[in-house]
Each structure stands twice: as structure tokens, then as C-alpha cells.
Amino acid sequence: MKQLLFVFIGGGIGSALRYLISKYLNTSFPYGTMLVNIAGCLLIGFFLSLAAKYNHFSQNQLLLLTTGFCGGFTTFSTFAFEKSIFLKNGDVLNFIIYTTLSIGIGIAAVFIGMWLGRTI
């Protein structure tokens, strides 16, 4: 039950932060969603790399930071919905740009986060 509480707290903080960022950055293009998803990829790579290198994080801390915060902060469902809107509106170019940048930079961000975690 304690672990569920850590996930709940981290998820709440991550979700609230995602909402605020998306509220102010999502205009004609979903910049906010793309930013939080890429930042979440960077953070999860960083947190897990630090945990592997230093073994300082408890299981509860990792649950709060990764499953909770990163899980609540990032959003695959909104990403998929926004892509469907592009397709529904016939905006194939922005669909391709958004999909390619989000996935490509997201994967790169995980590796960058892992590298940062190892170099600290």
C-alpha cells in the first residue's frame, strides 16, 4: 500500500505539471505535449541510470520518480489524440513532423539522460 502512495503522489505532481505546461504551450501545434514527453524521456533515463550507478534510490523513491512522476508527466494518450486530430484535419505534414520529432527526440533523450546519469 505504501508503494501505491508513492506512485500516486509522483503521478499527481507529474500530471499537474504536464497540465500547466500544455496549457500555456499548446497553441496551433502541441509544443507542450511534445516538450513534456521528451523531458519525461530524458528524466526517466537519468533517474534509472543514477539508480543503477549509485544504488542510492530505494524502491519507493524509484516508484515515485519513474512510475509516478514520469508516468504522470508524460502522456501517450494525448500524443495519440493530437496526432488523430492532425489526420482528421488532413494535416499530414504536421502529423509526420510531430510523430517523427516526438519519437526520435524522445528515444535520443532517454539515451542522453542515461549518459548524464552515468557521468555525474
Q: Cite the annotated binding site for Na(+) by residue number.
A: 71, 74
Determine the angle formed by the axes of helices 76-88 and 31-54, rounding to 10 degrees: 150
Q: Which residues are annotated binding-site positions?
A: 71, 74
Q: How far apart are CA 51 and CA 97, in angstroms?
A: 34
Q: How far apart are CA 52 and CA 36, in angstroms?
A: 24
